[in-house]
Every structure is written in C-alpha cells, then in structure tokens.
Amino acid sequence: MGKFNFIKSDIEDVFIIEPTCFGDERGYFMETYQQEEFAKVGINLDFVQDNQSKSHKGVLRGLHFQYTQPQGKLVRVIKGEVFDVAVDLRKNSDTYCKYEGVILSDENKKMFYIPPGFAHGFLVLSDEAEFTYKCTDFYNADDEGGIIYNDKEIAIEWPKIDCEIIISDKDKNYKSLSETPTNF
C-alpha cells in the first residue's frame, strides 16, 4: 500500500485522501502531505500558506472563495469532526454547481483536496473541532467572495445536528450562486 489512498470524487480534480497511518501502543505516525505522491494524481500546485481554525459545535463557515486569486486547499481535521463541502464554480465544468461533501475527523484522518475554482465550507459536528488547511495561494481579504450556505440551486444536504447553526454576519449576507459573479 502506498502512503496515500486517493479517492476520486464524482467531481473532476476533487479527491478524498486517506493517509496510511502507522500505529502501535505508543500512538501513531502518518504523512499528511508528500509532494511526489500528490503529483502522481495531478495535485501538483505549490502550497504557500497553512491555516488552522478552532470552532464549536454548530459553527458553519462558508461557502468561501477568492475571485482572482482562487485557492486550492488540502483540508483535514486534527480534533473533532466536521462535514466539509466543495462546490464546483468552474462554469465550463460538467459538474458546475455540484458539490462534494465528506465527513472529516481526527478518528478517520481523511483529508479533502479542493482545487482552485471551488467554494469551500464546513459544519462542525463535534463539541469542538480544530481544522487545518494548506492553500495554493495567499489569502486576500479584498478578493474574498462567497455564496450563501443554503443556496437552493446547489442544495447542499447539511447534516442535522442537535443545536442551533452559528453563522458569521458576513456569511449570512452572501447571495445565491445565480446572484454571485464568478469567473472560473
């Protein structure tokens, strides 16, 4: 078995990635990124920024993207559990407006690769979650865009949770995909 199991999603260029985890009575070890292995499946962009966030149960972040500096992201959860979503905004894609969603957790250790040209968001399912992601371009607040998380055209099936959803004011004010200019 290789260091990673790259699972192609129904959307071209989007991967769910299972790292090989070596464990014993001391704990575990795994590689979370290896440039040559990722390049073999076509993920050969340079990552230039790493981010980490902590959120409480019910926090929904997204759906975010950057207009002229689109970011590819390699995301994973190091504590807790989230439902992570990538929405295809590439207008010439056969899967335009479609989404892929996956449960990421510290237990399943799965990662999710979201290429440039996608909106990204996640919902925290556990009491709290720590989330890390590598980006292929730098964050630029002046370039940031978003789509409302409950857009009817995209129709994301967010998991039901036993608490109120918490959304930032910025994210609440995003418009639908049809009202949001994108140029990917």
Annotated catalytic residues are: 64, 133
Distance CA 24, CA 3 (A): 17
- For 52-94, give the secondary structure using H, E and C: EEEEECCEEEEEEEECCCCCCEEEEEEECEEEEEEEECCCCCC
Q: Which residue has the tokens 């260029």?
A: 13
Determine which helix (DSSP H) or strand (DSSP E) holds 169, and give its type and residue range: helix 169-172
Which is nearest to 103 in space by CA: 83, 128, 74, 86?
83
